[in-house]
A and B are shown apart, each in its own frame.
Chain A
Amino acid sequence: MNLNNILILTKKDLTLFFKNRFFSMITILGLVAFIIIYFALPKLEEDKIKIGIYSDVSLTKIYYFLELHDTEVYDASSIEDLKEKVSKKVISFGIYFPSNVKEKKTLKLIVNAETENEMKEAYEYIAKELFHTEFGYQLNIESENEIIGVDLAGKQIPVRKRLIPILAFFLIIAETLGLSTLISDELENKTIYALLSTPVTVGDIFFSKGVMGLITTLIPSLLFILITVGFRNFPLIFLLLIFGSLFAISIGFLIGSIAKDMMSIIGYGFVIFILIIIPSFNVLAPGTLSSWVKIIPAYYLVDGLHKIINFNSPFLSLLPNILILIISQGILFLFGSLILKRRLI
């Protein structure tokens, strides 16, 4: 491979990419729109609190008080039911009033392991207020944690923070169509033969496409991350974004090698995009998807970004994600190359 040729071809591809108004609009508007979406969402986590109650004694004033304050209440059928609803995040927290609550002045506060400490304190304060409302005096609190998962415990994430990995992922994959178009055009317009009849090699052409793809996928997502997350965990995020970009490039390469024109690029792209955005929902609403989504390599990109951005996960816990991305990229590139080889003859 010749570095000079790669630079010349990359410059040419970038010129062609930005001469295409559709793709330059997607790049710029996508970045701007996602930043606006991020900042338009509330900074705090969901403010509506749903309280679960299970009591061995008769409660009268609490329900009236909560209704007055427009707070949703879940009446648990047992303490186990209460714990289950807390663990599944159906309710924000649970309060168990044992039969001796009045004598011991003690109740059980059940909170999820992922609940931030500040929120736990807030829930304890609410429980104390409710006890005071019902019985007229102060009480001791015994809180019990339901452990759900180990790694991600201890932090409630606002929606907009959950959206960061998803939007960064969308910015990465949005650029694949541009890359596919450049590859497909090179084949369909047969300009690739003009290039190959010069000192340029097939390696130079595809490496330059890769560089072009890396620039167009990495820069918008990197800018978005820097604006929304800043430099926190930057080296790890940067590393994962590079692998994410390479994943998008491999998809673009495959689509470009199959497609014959813009319509077929959109057709293939649409099907592939639907498939690869499914894992994003797992970040937005954890536990809503079946485990089969893990066969989609895109899951490991979104999941990896989610882990670093929202849980400060260390490199070792991201290693499986990175390895799976590398393997899937290799497979996609291999398929793309085989198809291209057939088309070039």
Chain B
Amino acid sequence: MEKVIEANELTYSYGKNLAVDHISFYVNKGEILGFLGPNGAGKTTTFKMLVGLLKPKEGTAKVLGLDISKEPKKIQRRIGVCFEYTNLYEELSAKENLILFANLFGIKNFNPYELIEKVGLKGKENDLVKTFSKGMKQRLMVARSLVNDPEILFLDEPTQGLDPVSSEEIRNIILEEKNKGKTIFLTTHDMYEADKLSDRVAFINYGKIVALDAPLNLKTKFGKRGLKLKLQKENGEIYEKNIVLDKDDTLENILSTFKQDKVITVHSEEATLEDIFIKITGRGLKE
């Protein structure tokens, strides 16, 4: 598998505050790597180093085989970047914003309408960005990150603060790009988003990667599977019971429960990424 992002002991500090602490990881071509962690964990600093906006204080990283410290501009020609904050030109129209960036990438015969339609803003091409809702702006930001048909998409909290419908639309665009074979580096503190989109997730906490694996593997390794049952006794009393799976007495426990009382409902349960994050780090993702 071709590694398109490779970080080795990557470190950054703001004065004495160590924001990213010697992290190493890689991202395979065509993969979505979710970078999961609470606010201030070091996600955005890592993101900024990888897209060439910050120079690492220590360590190295290669994007598309190029050193981020030595050849950031060569890298930036081939990547798309979407920031966590809205940084569009509000006094320009959606079309003007896209054309500006296409021109900066030196793209000839750029068609902004195609991208605008792709992100669901058809009919809004000539509207000034300042008249857009947050969701519309975020969709335009995603469109802007695609103007140069990038090989890797760097997305920093792309759905932060959006309503569920807008969030889902952006997630669908991300999956669409993945299906085209693009590599995606996604930072988020939304465990649902990371779980749904990522091939692998990296947990980052206080600047260090504390776990990195496929979501399912992390759940298997750190989480507990279980059954949640609603039962009714002979006297009509209703109660709930949890049975932990994958233990020696699990089968016996299930059989005796089913024999003993009337089963009303059964739900399977598995640990969420947030549960696992808390288990590993002792703090929640929303802190």
Binding site for B on A (CB under 8 A): 4-5, 8-9, 12, 15-16, 19-20, 189-191, 193-201, 345
Contact = CB atoms under 8 A, between A and B. Distances in A.
A200 B73 CA distance: 8
Nearest to A201: B73
B243 interface: no
B144 interface: yes
Given A8-B100, A191-B89, A345-B54, A198 B83 contact: no
Which 6 interchain pairs have the tightest Cβ spacing?
Answer: A197-B81, A190-B87, A198-B104, A8-B103, A194-B87, A191-B87
A197 B76 contact: yes
B193 to A, nearest CB: 22
B88 A8 contact: no
Contacts of B14: 345
B85 interface: yes
Given A16-B89, A197-B52, A198-B105, A190 B100 contact: no
Nearest to A9: B104
A20 B103 CA distance: 23
B117 interface: no
Contacts of A200: 104
B77, B83, B100, B104: which has the most chain A beta carbons within 10 Å? Answer: B104
A4, A19, A189, A198: which has the most chain B beta carbons within 10 Å? Answer: A198
B90 interface: yes
Given A15-B96, A20-B91, A196-B52, 9 more contacts: A12-B89, A189-B87, A189-B89, A190-B83, A191-B87, A193-B53, A194-B81, A201-B73, A345-B14
Interface in B66-94: 73, 76-77, 79, 81, 83, 85, 87-92
Contacts of B76: 197-199
A199 B87 contact: no
Nearest to B79: A197
B104 A193 contact: no
A19 to B, nearest CB: 5
B10 interface: no
Nearest to A5: B104
Contacts of B85: 190
A5 B148 CA distance: 15
Contacts of B89: 12, 16, 189, 191
A8 B92 CA distance: 14
Contact of B51 (A16, A197, A345): A197
Contacts of B87: 189-191, 193-194
A12 B96 CA distance: 9
Contacts of B106: 4, 199
Nearest to B87: A190
Interface in B28-85: 51-54, 73, 76-77, 79, 81, 83, 85
B92 A15 contact: yes
A16 B91 contact: yes
A19 B91 contact: yes
